[in-house]
Structure 1
């Protein structure tokens, strides 16, 4: 790959130049600081696997209900898949949408793409044409890796619609029955020569994560080889992971949380095993935890509560769990106690974002800290400011919006100039949209408490849903005059999505509304759980929709 003909090398250079377009790099002075601190090593992200294969070749790297690979086996398979992808015409710098369910095949595809020096766009299986078309358009993706069917949904039909709308998508690989596309086995069964991987500029994106979506469609988050390697290594160290640990990935593997906090990538840095499940129900997950003696997993609050409750009735209990990370939305103290007392005494809170910044409680922290705050920064070089609505820093210990920057926090969304103008301060701090206080005294000093949010989002079962994006879809319905998407409290999901709607005539049903949203390609986790017809939407003094009034009226019913 690195020794191609002048014409092929020119094509590769063009792809790398294209990858740089719309990418906001780290400033040179900060980048040098992170290198001097030893955080950045200018190595490709996939070297996490090759290093693990060299140190622990016979240890089990990944497993699912039916398959497992040692580090040596996974490393060799990644080489073969990378070469197969190159033979299919995928070039270094090409963006490829990766949308596979949780399984060993996800890890194989991820590392195969990295070995081919492609840039995976980490899609979730719940994403549909609206989101995937947006990702393809913004990233300039040239291909997709998908499954044939999952959860009763045919991903090949969706791929066909996307290809018709986005002609750059010429490489569609299907794990399973391929239909009109190429089978994934054409890549995994590649038997040709294995060229040396192309050199990597570790300051460029290794992969693109997907934002939770706070305004409009989700944005793409460039994570560089340098910052994401550090993210994985530092997370594993902070949690005290060793090669004796076994990490269960029960959340969608394309999320930052189960991918690198520490998740799959962090586990590799210490030689630990990662187990995948696409069924996070207590019955299935507890059986897998028992089978593999899982010691660590990351869950969203709603799922952690369900697992804790299930310990009362499931015959097989997750007794091997040493650490359960809980994040995705703020956990109230009574919830934290319930999970700690019923699921695992090693419960730890995590407050972070795919954009970078991570805070979590640590092993050995006092119970009062674990139950009541969301953690402290992962890195000594994480910088945090708390500011008021005018961007002025508040007094120490006071509430305000959290602004962050550091060695693994992005400097700009990918190809999103307008969003970047809103989301970053002039000196490069990311505006998180979270309302917090940072304690200055006592055992909580330096720890963060999340007290609310600035951005209009709904945290449903660990997914962050943009209220404005859903409202845009709702307003396209011919029978809807006005609509507001609001969050209502829910015991199991944390928050559920309610569409408060003013109809032009007779109201439609929730099923009819969600059928309409299905046709628009809206992802499964974005659709309303409740529909509340209203005669009008209340307004604030300045004429904006008063969502607090809507929520109060609906909660009081």
Structure 2
């Protein structure tokens, strides 16, 4: 299934941005070079998660296992362009499914393990998968019982594959398929008749929005490589790096931020982790000699404030950490660099394809800004390009959210628009949404607010300001929730914060902050505003309402759900 227009494919390839490698061939090339090196490792708590023992694969063992699974998928009736819906926690078997599907040209559609009947019905109705792969038991829930209750309503579902023991009669065993080499001739015959290319859709991932239904985002291998290159290049992921993945392997942060860098760098191990458990994660950082990982800002803040925890583990192999989905504190980024020699990179991405990674040497800048990547000829500015290929691949501009006029002055929040070989070509089966998502120049309207920043006329940076729908408008003044959050987060009693607008008849909106305090602390609105006054923040930006929470509401991939914060206020 190729969805990208052919002329765009040829343009990207003529510039050297797209190539011929599939996800599988990237892995296979690595396997030939590093046959006996560790490649894929389970978390030690896997028995408690799914009732199975942890697995460890060398590249050679994984290569053979992928062929086994690919041949068994074909035997089960799954072929090129068939959609395989995957609902698994981060276990090595999930990575095997991805690689085997790429081997035969099947399309992976991963969904969060938190979802139940209500959400699953929506995804199946849109994607019409031929197969479903789920765990028998995870977190005290039986996913196979759920899918068997749904099957009668969806004749498209022909194959059910389960992870676990004592499976229902109609369910194939994923573990058995991984170890069964009896159909390798079937695989070889199949591959002589089918052409799997890097332009074919490899995944259909999902994103939410203001619509009632989730939006399906198809991405080819080349689109994934386009965005995976950003983290690979800008987070300085090198050959032989061991990578720990603590995010669900279902979307941009994990697939683009960690799995693709593993495939693009080669030679190291991809270590999985799920659900997030600080003690288990720190043990993996030590025992697996991890060099690169992604960790949420709140966890990094907490670790740096409780260094006794860090000193209990040997993390000397850790060279870089990606972080995002919430404001990064400059003191935290600086602290990890100065005390541990670890570079913390600010990472911003979306399922549709936006890819920003801060690559400044100065840690304070790295916490707050992103390189203003794009075509330098559009602006004719000196020192605008960056010393990485991604800076020319990804073109960007900022426009007024209402008028859509381009903003070229610094300090004015506007909607980020982006195009390039890392950006998807449109929502699956939703031409109406696709049409409204792109402008006449082919830029994708992200809905994310950024401002142009810089010094001495060299405006070569972007600063994130929030989602356009999250913009707070108080008395005609546009207030960036990100700016408020960054400032409040520096208060010594605050661990996490989310800023939202609260409806007001006179002003339109008032600024509200929902905060999670550090253990044993309490904070008042007066304390926060006195702190902001001392920082010389404008009065109209200071919060007028304080909501104290035990934890911020988050979606399955860890992003704060501000609509739920607003609902709590209401």
- With the length of structure 2 as denominator, give the TM-score of the two structures: 0.74
Tell me: higher relative CO, structure 1 or 2? Use CA pairs within 8 A at least 6 residues apart: 1
- With the length of structure 1 as denominator, give the TM-score of the two structures: 0.75
**Structure 2 residue aligned with 1:483:** none
| Equivalent residue in structure 1 for 2:298, among 279, 288, 302 | 302
Contact residue 133 and residue 166 of structure 1 kept, 8 A: no
| Cα distance in 2, alignment partners of residues 151 and 217 from structure 1 | 26
| Equivalent residue in structure 2 for 1:430, among 444, 466, 469 | 444
**Structure 2 residue aligned with 1:6:** none
Moved more, 407-416 or 80-89: 407-416
Show the 5 A alignment for 1:197-236. 197=191, 198-236=194-232
TM-superposed deviation, 1:375: 4.6
**Structure 2 residue aligned with 1:498:** none
Alpha-carbon displacement from aligned partner over 1:233-276 (angstroms, at most 9, x marks no partner): 45323332223311100111222212222x12321222221111
| Cα distance in 2, alignment partners of residues 219 and 35 from structure 1 | 28
Task: Tell me, yes or no, if structure 1 residue 189 matches structure 2 residue 179.
Answer: yes
**Structure 2 residue aligned with 1:386:** 398
- What is the aligned length? 463
**Structure 1 residue aligned with 2:425:** 411
Do the aligned partners of residues 332 and 442 (structure 1) sit closer, same or farther apart at CA in structure 2, a change above 3 Å counting?
farther
Consecutive unaligned residues of structure 1, counting only runs of 5 or more, are 1-18, 460-464, 468-485, 493-513, 515-521, 533-546
TM-superposed deviation, 1:345: 3.4
Structure 1 residue matching 2:19: 3-state secondary structure: coil
Contact residue 407 and residue 414 of structure 2 kept, 8 A: yes
TM-superposed deviation, 1:219: 1.3
| Cα distance in 2, alignment partners of residues 526 and 436 from structure 1 | 18
TM-superposed deviation, 1:339: 6.1
Show the 5 A alignment for 1:237-386. 237-261=233-257, 263-271=258-266, 272-313=268-309, 315-316=312-313, 318-334=315-331, 336-337=333-334, 345-362=342-359, 365-377=361-373, 378-386=390-398
| Cα distance in 2, alignment partners of residues 148 and 129 from structure 1 | 15
Do the aligned partners of residues 141 and 444 (structure 1) sit closer, same or farther apart at CA in structure 2, a change above 3 Å counting?
farther
Alpha-carbon displacement from aligned partner over 1:72-96 (angstroms, at most 9, x marks no partner): 2112211111111000011110001
Do the aligned partners of residues 291 and 443 (structure 1) sit closer, same or farther apart at CA in structure 2, a change above 3 Å counting?
farther
Task: Tell me, yes or no, if structure 1 residue 179 matches structure 2 residue 192.
Answer: no
| Cα distance in 1, alignment partners of residues 339 and 207 from structure 2 | 32
Contact residue 112 and residue 556 of structure 2 kept, 8 A: no
TM-superposed deviation, 1:376: 4.8
Task: Tell me, yes or no, if structure 1 residue 450 matches structure 2 residue 446.
Answer: no
Do the aligned partners of residues 119 and 296 (structure 1) sit closer, same or farther apart at CA in structure 2, a change above 3 Å counting?
same
Structure 2 residue matching 1:98: 3-state secondary structure: strand
Task: Tell me, yes or no, if structure 1 residue 85 matches structure 2 residue 73.
Answer: yes
TM-superposed deviation, 1:32: 2.5
Structure 2 residue matching 1:149: 3-state secondary structure: coil
Consecutive unaligned residues of structure 2, counting only runs of 5 or more, are 45-53, 374-389, 472-480, 483-497, 501-511, 519-552
| Cα distance in 2, alignment partners of residues 339 and 255 from structure 1 | 27
Do the aligned partners of residues 231 and 526 (structure 1) sit closer, same or farther apart at CA in structure 2, a change above 3 Å counting?
closer
Do the aligned partners of residues 276 and 86 (structure 1) sit closer, same or farther apart at CA in structure 2, a change above 3 Å counting?
same
Do the aligned partners of residues 531 and 187 (structure 1) sit closer, same or farther apart at CA in structure 2, a change above 3 Å counting?
closer
| Cα distance in 2, alignment partners of residues 89 and 210 from structure 1 | 25
| Cα distance in 2, alignment partners of residues 269 and 443 from structure 1 | 36
| Cα distance in 1, alignment partners of residues 433 and 60 from structure 2 | 42
Do the aligned partners of residues 456 and 349 (structure 1) sit closer, same or farther apart at CA in structure 2, a change above 3 Å counting?
same
| Cα distance in 2, alignment partners of residues 524 and 85 from structure 1 | 29
Moved more, 85-94 or 341-350: 341-350
| Cα distance in 1, alignment partners of residues 273 and 557 from structure 2 | 19
| Cα distance in 2, alignment partners of residues 443 and 124 from structure 1 | 45
Structure 2 residue matching 1:39: 3-state secondary structure: coil
Do the aligned partners of residues 530 and 247 (structure 1) sit closer, same or farther apart at CA in structure 2, a change above 3 Å counting?
same
| Cα distance in 2, alignment partners of residues 79 and 260 from structure 1 | 24
**Structure 2 residue aligned with 1:130:** 118
**Structure 2 residue aligned with 1:517:** none
| Cα distance in 2, alignment partners of residues 39 and 163 from structure 1 | 42
Contact residue 42 and residue 225 of structure 1 kept, 8 A: no
Moved more, 522-531 or 398-407: 522-531
